[in-house]
Structure 1
């Protein structure tokens, strides 16, 4: 998620510098190319997380139910919902991409216009959901960080008290 933030920060800086006060690009073509690169870079940054994302969500949801209510941030439930919805949509788009890719002519390989345009379109369709992960994904870390601090609901309070050990001298 850190890489996604770097991509987004770089995009914001580029966009601020290459658009007028109304947000219109000075050069539509160059802006479109850079936006396409942002989409691809964001997708690449998410790939390291993609296959473990469901497990991360499930873990955070479990941790959230075990935290004392007074330690839970109200936005976490919402953020986990956004992440789940975004992941569902990303999975759908990924399946659609695989179908599109398989339907391309055999000569359409990475580096060819036909393949690259289709892949860029897939990235553009995926970007807002990847942005949701970049924006709300910090909730996973926050919940995980809060979880160890929470007293266990399974252990009695006395079990949480520090244990003093004395070493017997011979």
Structure 2
């Protein structure tokens, strides 16, 4: 998350310096290439999180169910839903690009330019979903911290209905 936040901060700084007062790029080509770089860096920053993201979301959802209402921030459930939806879309984009890679490998040559364009297109489409993870991913840590601090809810187990028999000849 920190890496994604740094990428976004660098992008904001670049955009501020290279846009006019109305927010239009001063040099559309350079701005576009910098946007492609931002999208690529953001995709790469998410790669270490992606394999375990579904489990992180499931764990947070489970923890949320076991917290008392007073320990839950009102935005946590919606943030978890947003992260789930963003992850679903990121997985769709990843699968789509994997199909392009596979086609390139198996069905004859696909130009390097077409392949690079598919990567850039995937990254561009993914950027908003990755930004959701950068902006709201902290909810996973927040829920975990609340679950860690919450008192353990002890549910008494009923006593056994039968007493185990003692073995003959042994005294404890």
- TM-score > 0.5, shorter chain as reference: yes
Task: Quote the residue 2:139 is aligned against.
Answer: 139
Q: So what's the TM-score if we normalise by structure 1?
A: 0.85
1-side partners of 2:49 and 2:12: how far apart? 23
Rg bigger for which structure? Answer: 2
2:51 — aligned with what?
Answer: 51
Cα distance in 2 for partners of 1:7, 1:93 equals: 21
In the alignment, what sits opposite 1:69?
69
Matched with 2:30 is 30
Count of aligned pairs between the two proteins? 154
Structure 2 length as normaliser, TM-score?
0.84
TM-superposed deviation, 1:62: 0.8
* 1:108 shift after superposition: 4.7
Q: Tell me, yes or no, if the aligned pair for 2:11 and 2:38 is still in contact at 8 Å.
A: yes
CA deviation string 1:114-137 (max 9, x = no partner): 221211111111111111101110
Contact 2:86 2:130 in 1 (8 A): yes
2:87 aligned with 1:81, yes or no? Answer: no
- Per-residue displacement from partner, 1:70-95 (whole Å, max 9, x unpaired)? 01000000000000000011111111
1:9 aligns with 2:27: no
Give the deviation of 1:155 after TM superposition.
Answer: 5.8
Aligned to 2:115: 115
The gaps in structure 2 that reach 5 residues or longer are 157-172
Task: Verify the 8 A CA contact 2:46 2:130 in the aligned structure 1.
Answer: yes
User: Any idea what the Cα deviations from partners look like across 1:37-62, whole Å, max 9, x if unmatched?
Assistant: 00000000000100000000001111
Do the aligned residues in 1 keep the contact of 2:42 with 2:127 (CA within 8 Å)? yes
Q: Shift in Å at residue 11 of structure 1?
A: 0.5
Instruction: State the Cα distance separating 1:106 from its structure 2 match.
Output: 5.1
Unaligned ranges ≥5, structure 1: 157-170
* Distance (Å, rounded) in 2 between the aligned partners of 1:94 and 1:3: 20
Which position in structure 1 is the counterpart of 2:149? 149
